Amino acid sequence: MGSRSDKFKVNGRRQILVADDEFINRELLDNILRDEYEILKAEDGETAYEMLTDHRHTVSLVLLDLNMPKLSGLDLLAKMKEDEELKSIPVIVLTSDSNSEVESLKKGAADFVPKPYPQPDVIRARIARTIELAEDRQIISATERDVLTGLYTSEYFFRYCEQFDKAYPETDMDVLYIDVNHFHVLNERFGMEKGDEVLKSIADCLRTIFSPGESILCRKNADMFLVYCPHREEYQSLVEKAATCCPDLPTSIKIRAGVYPHGDKHLDIQSRFTRAKIAADKIRNNYSVSVSSFDEALLEQELFAGQLVDEFPKALAEKQFQVFLQPKFDIRGDKPVLASAEALVRWFHPTLGMISPGAFIPLFEGNGLIAQLDEYVWRGAAEMIADWKKRLGISVPVSVNLSRVEMYDPNLADTLEKIIQDTGITSKDIYLEITESAYVRDSDQIVKKVQQLRERGFFVEMDDFGSGYSSLNMISSLPIDALKLDMFFIRHAFAEGNDTRMISIVIDIAEYLNVPVIAEGVETEEQYLALKKLGCAIIQGYYFSKPVPGPDFEKFLLEKEESPC
């Protein structure tokens, strides 16, 4: 008993209410129990009820005579059963009428002690056991239910789902993972109290949607809800209904659900909910979709992504990543001339073969590994440039990409300069490509960082221009040395029914800023000639060359060297 909470004690002892209209009975029980318990005494039912109400948080047990004036023991049991707090207090009935025992147990009594009373040790043992069982139930109840919402906690939820499966193995069950997208924003903008209010509203709504008799509900962590329910065909309207329970949610915050329909009961319950979460994660930042269903392809993607992350350190150490180069040509003269190159990365896995950058770049951007990979590419590009200078006596600048993660690194400039010093090249040999979106988000901090890089001699290109972020007013004040048009901007301009007037406008803006325009994704002679006519300075794309390994790129260097100036 030493591990029990002190909230059940008064003056270091548990409190017992003795309710009996006979003075001698009250005193007899007081004498038997006073050494171990704090005793309260009531001579009738109404007094007992008043004392229970006043001491509801401290009374550990009621010894209750059934035959009392003003309010009988059975009526008092009924009133206690109607009160959420009082009904949890255990009651031992004191009676000489054996016929009343069953009725009192049905009304909520935990045990009974016959009159005349048995030996004191028997009474004390029954009381101790009843209190212990009641407190165990209260402790279990406290850990079983989430305090805020009243839904099951995850530990008990998974246990009850497993018990349900054993009882109803043939019932077709769905697995739902529901959460509030960007819930932390709600807490930060409106406070924790508002956040708690929203969570309680969602929980209440889920109780009305999913019948407690056939469904099991859980609140897991801050804003995640789990539902185990019989299969149904349509969940979109249910999620919309849950959203209407919180009508004043900001538009940036939405309720989304991942569904694993017909959950495979050969899988353990946690694995089934993992699949529902995978489905929910698929639409994390998609505000037009609020429900996603799991399929095996999603699991394969998740497992593949996990494998890539797990094998990243080994791949880096074994140099499975290779730096490829795509040439950029200056087209302002009569003949295209090699101007520079862009460093791109390819992953050559020993068993999976070449892994597409589209598979691992977004993944590493999302989990922070991109910083290590980018530094690997920067150093690889610098080593190539140094090798060309030493072995061939020629080189061109190489552009490397900087992610938003690096732009917040206070040591970025020092890292780049160390690479330059280690390889023996200069800052003029490395161009830095920074996406347009990076300039727009936290623009003041990014602009300051770009200015520092330019002060150290680095040439900075704004990458992916035209993807729809910058205003003309903003672009005129940004520190850049070149504008690089997004390849999708180029494709759209040359698609059937479109024209190149927007490209012409961008080139005019660049001329006003006195910076060159670089067009990427150029694939046809038509595009090349049109861009040349519009005054585009530099182009790259499959029209000239796909990205190639460093040794294959040397032919462009040698051709440039052999071309007459």
Q: Give the pLDDT of residue 3.
A: 39
| Listed residue (234, 328, 369) closest to 518, CA to CA | 328
| Listed residue (423, 410, 414, 411) closest to 456, CA to CA | 414
Alpha carbon distance 454, 441 (integer Å): 20
565 residues of the chain, pLDDT tens digit each: 333 444 455 567 888 999 998 898 889 999 999 888 989 999 998 999 999 988 888 888 999 888 888 988 888 888 888 887 788 888 888 877 767 777 777 778 888 888 888 888 988 898 899 888 887 777 666 677 888 888 888 888 998 899 899 888 899 999 999 988 778 777 777 788 888 888 888 888 888 888 877 899 999 878 899 999 999 888 888 888 877 776 666 666 678 899 999 999 999 999 999 999 988 888 877 777 888 888 877 778 888 888 999 999 999 999 999 999 999 999 998 899 999 999 999 999 999 999 999 889 988 988 889 999 999 999 999 999 999 999 999 989 999 999 888 888 889 999 999 999 999 999 999 999 988 777 666 677 788 888 999 999 999 998 877 655 555 556 666 788 998 887 777 777 777 666 788 888 888 888 888 899 999 989 989 889 989 999 999 999 999 999 999 999 999 999 887 765 5
Q: Give the pLDDT of residue 496.
A: 64
C-alpha dihedral, 18 to 19 to 22 to 28, nearest 10°: -10
Question: What number of residues does the chain have?
Answer: 565
The token duo for 186 is 């709600």
Topology classification of domain 6-142:
Rossmann fold (3.40.50)
Respond yes or no on whether the N-terminal peptide bond of residue 247 is cis (omega within 30° of 0).
Answer: no
Alpha carbon distance 521, 467 (integer Å): 14
Task: Note whether 6-142 and 154-294 share their fold.
Answer: no
Topology classification of domain 154-294:
Alpha-Beta Plaits (3.30.70)
How is the chain split into domains, by residue range?
A: 6-142, 154-294, 305-554
The CATH superfamily holding the domain 305-554 is EAL domain (3.20.20.450)
3-class state of residue 405 by DSSP: helix
The token duo for 256 is 């989304």
Q: Which residues lie across from 435 on neighbouring strands?
A: 463
DSSP state at residue 278:
H
Q: Give the pLDDT of residue 469.
A: 53
For residue 481, CA distances in Å to 62, 377, 395, 460, 461 come to 84, 22, 20, 5, 6
Task: Give every CB contact of residue 556 below 8 A, 6+ residues apart in sequence.
Answer: 327, 338, 341, 545
